[in-house]
Chains A and B, each alone.
Chain A
Amino acid sequence: MNFEILHRPAHSMARVHLNANESVLAESGAMIGMSPNVQMQTQAGGLMSGIKRMFGGESFFRNTFTAHNGPGEVLLAHALCGDMRTLEMTQYGYFVQSSSFVASTPNVQTETKIGGFKTFFAGEGVFVLKATAPSPGALLIGAFGGIEELQCDGNLVIDTGHLVAWDATLDYSVGKSGSGWIASFLSGEGLVCHFRGQGRIWIQTRNASAYGQAIGSMLPPRSA
């Protein structure tokens, strides 16, 4: 299997080339197109959590796409405009912002109940998951905006709306940006994550909830 990323950086789409009988796991709704010999199967990820997350974020079911009777291809993309990249699985794994997860090799396991992240993100339905794999594999992530890899060598403070993924080797804690709520409100910054240690952090150059606010406030109201 290999991941080919096209239409970078703003409207990226991954073209996954599958050998006969190979599978790729992809987040619900990520499929754009595929060759007719690819079959899709939905995996259960927890019925209630899936229904709860139907609006405004990740419905965390993953589909398995398998090529039958020969090689095939699947085209995948995430919801918002931006770049995509693949991360090679390491022995420690990654923490990934839920809406950034697009696809993975079938051996990658994801854990959705991570403690300490209740107030992590400003948007609804956005949460953090941990991806690990017992053997070599790959993770495909998609961001809102461009993806920049930062090296944390000591400490970094990052606005949580811009976090895509980070090495599980880093220590992190969530806090307010300014001192006190008024300063945070006025300064426009929401929550930030203080990282300590050594590791890589992938950030996206746009903030989805700021974008959502900008558009959402101009849209006709919805029923509650």
Chain B
Amino acid sequence: MQPQMAPQGYPQPPMAYGAPGAGPTAAHQITHGPSFAMLRVDLRPGETLVAEAGAMIARHQRVGMEVKLNAGRSAGIFAKLKAIFIALVRKAIGGETFFVNHFTTPQSGSVWLAPALSGQIQYRRMQGETLVLSSGAYLAHMGDVDLKLKFGGLRGMLAKEGAFFLAVSGLGDLWYTSYGGIEYVDVNGSYMIDNGHLVGYEGNLTFNIRTAGGGMMGFMASGEGLVCEFQGQGRVWIQTRNLGALVSWLSPLLP
């Protein structure tokens, strides 16, 4: 049930307006969900789409692409230095580089984006709330959206996905991804999520990264690496696949 791409012209953009200052909703379409979702954004003249580096599949020739550091909108020199440092660390330990591409066009044009791992793309209209995403989950945004890097703590550094989180806030459009399908848990008390399965969370939650349980034997043997233990009230989004589990399934089969 994929909509046909018209040879000329683009689907009419929805004219929904959010909170003041947010601008009109981005004209976009998510196809091939839920498993191999792809995002197409139809840029209007002057609009800028910011997307995770490496995510572009295709674009019209007239859409310009510029690489920038993902330092946040109001980044001063210190924030920029911090972002460079973090980007180098991320490149060293693997994972996202935290460079982003800015796509703009003086006319109109389209950009097609997708993440590296198979799964869904979710759209969210940000209306001033804060959503914390696991760093691998961010795909793209448009509008007055701010991204702040949060450090996951030293124990978080042991897990590729646990090292950094992105606190997303502001007004505008946000797209994020998952490896596998997305489900959610409404936490009221205490809940543990395997670190590799975490997509994001919001609400009145604090979390603690710890080993899965069972002490030393538990950490090494149980196959569960690190878990995020959430306390409080809020919603946690989880994904149904985990790169670490794929690797531990595949490793014994390698020559």
Contact between chain A and chain B defined by CB under 8 Å: yes
Interface residues of A (CB under 8 A from B): 9-10, 81-83, 145-146, 148-151, 153, 155-159, 162, 177-178, 183, 186-189, 194, 203-207, 210-211, 213-215, 217-220, 222
28 contacting pairs across A/B (C-beta < 8 A): A9-B36, A145-B114, A146-B36, A148-B5, A148-B38, A155-B61, A156-B58, A156-B60, A158-B58, A159-B56, A159-B58, A183-B67, A186-B67, A187-B54, A188-B52, A188-B97, A189-B56, A189-B65, A203-B57, A205-B32, A205-B38, A207-B114, A210-B116, A214-B243, A218-B94, A218-B243, A219-B247, A222-B255
In the complex, are the beta carbons of B99 and A186 less than 8 A apart? yes
A212 to chain B, nearest CB (A): 10
Which of the residues B32, B54, B61, B97 comes within 8 Å of A146, measured between beta carbons? B32
Which one of B2, B37, B94, B99 contacts A187 once the chains associate, using CB atoms below 8 Å? B99
B247, closest chain A residue (CB) = A218
Take A145-B114, A177-B65, A206-B114 as given contacts and tell me if A9 and B32 are in contact as well, using a CB distance cutoff of 8 Å. yes
Count, A-B residue pairs, CB within 8 A: 129
In chain A, what residue has the closest Cβ to B55? Answer: A188
A205 touches B58 (CB 8 A): no
Taken together as a complex, chains A and B put the C-alpha atoms of A222 and B253 apart, in Å, by 13
- Choice from A81, A83, A187, A206 contacting B116 with Cβ under 8 Å: A206
Q: Which residues of B contact A206 (CB under 8 A)?
A: 36, 114, 116-118
Q: A-contacting residues of B (Cβ < 8 Å)?
A: 2, 5-8, 31-32, 35-38, 52-61, 65, 67, 94, 97, 99, 101, 112, 114, 116-118, 160, 243-244, 246-247, 250-251, 254-255
Docked pose: A51 CA to B101 CA in angstroms? 40
Assuming the A-B contacts A10-B35, A217-B94, are A211 and B117 also in contact, with contact meaning beta carbons closer than 8 angstroms in the complex? yes
Could you tell me if B251 and A146 are in contact, using CB atoms closer than 8 angstroms? no
Kindly state the separation between the CA atoms of A157 and B32 in the bound complex, as whole angstroms. 20
Chain B residues contacting A10 (CB-CB under 8 Å) are: 35-36, 118
Query: How far does the Cβ of A166 sit from chain B's closest Cβ, in whole Å?
Result: 12
**Contacts A9-B35, A188-B53, A205-B36; A157 near B251 (Cβ below 8 A):** no
B53's partner among A9, A153, A189, A219 (CB-CB below 8 A) is A189
State A218–B65 Cα separation when bound (angstroms): 30
* Docked-complex contact A220 and B251, CB < 8 angstroms: yes
A201 to chain B, nearest CB (A): 8
A158 contact set on B, CB distance < 8 A: 57-58
Give A161's nearest chain B residue, CB to CB. Answer: B57
CB contacts (< 8 Å) of B7 on chain A: these are 151, 153
CA distance A162 to B32 in the complex (A): 14
The smallest C-beta distance from B95 to any residue of chain A, in angstroms, reads: 9
Q: With A150-B5, A156-B61, A159-B58 in contact, is A211–B116 under 8 Å at CB?
A: yes
Chain A residues within 8 Å of B31, by CB: 146, 148, 205
Q: Which 8 pairs of residues, A with B, have the shortest CB-CB distance?
A: A188-B54, A146-B32, A188-B53, A145-B36, A205-B38, A146-B36, A210-B116, A187-B67
Q: How far is the CB of B75 from chain A (nearest CB, A)?
A: 17
